[in-house]
Amino acid sequence: MTPVRRTRERGVETLTLDSPHNRNALSATLVGDLAAALTATAADPGARAVVLTHTGTTFSAGADLRDPPDPDALVGLFRQIAELPKPVVARVAGHVRAGGLGLLAACDISAASHDSTFAFTEVRIGVAPAVISLTLLPRTDPRALARYYLTGERFDAAEAARTGLVTAAGDDVDAVLAPVLDGLRRASPQGLAETKRLLTARVLEAFDRDAAGLTALSARLFASSQAREGMTAFLERRDPEWVV
Please check the confidence at residue 65 and state whether its pLDDT lies above 90.
no
Picking from 138, 149, 181, the residue whose alpha carbon sits closest to that of residue 8 is 181
**pLDDT at 1 (0 to 100):** 78
Whole-structure pTM value: 0.96
* Residues 24-54 pLDDT 10s: 999 999 999 999 999 999 999 999 999 999 9
**Coil, strand or helix: which one is 83?**
helix
Among 153, 142, 37, 137, CA closest to 97 = 153
Decide if pLDDT at 4 tops 90. Answer: yes
Report yes or no: 10 and 185 within 8 Å, Cβ to Cβ. yes
Rounded average pLDDT over 67-96: 96
- The tens digit of pLDDT for each residue in 192-220 reads 999 999 999 999 999 999 999 999 999 99
Count how many residues are written for the chain: 244
One-letter amino acid for residue 148 of the chain:
Y
Give the separation between CA 61 and CA 67, rounded to whole angstroms: 13
Whether the per-residue pLDDT at 230 is higher than 90: the answer is yes
228 CB-contact burial (10 Å; exposed 0-12 / middle 13-18 / buried 19+):
middle
Q: Could you tell me the pLDDT band of residue 226, with boundaries at 50, 70 and 90?
A: very high
The pLDDT tens digits of the residues spanning 98-126 come to 999 999 999 999 999 999 999 999 999 99
Domain residue limits, the chain: 1-172+189-244
The domain made up of 1-172+189-244 has a fold known as 2-enoyl-CoA Hydratase; Chain A, domain 1 (3.90.226)
Q: What is the pLDDT of residues 149-179, one digit of tens each?
A: 999 999 999 999 999 999 999 999 999 999 9
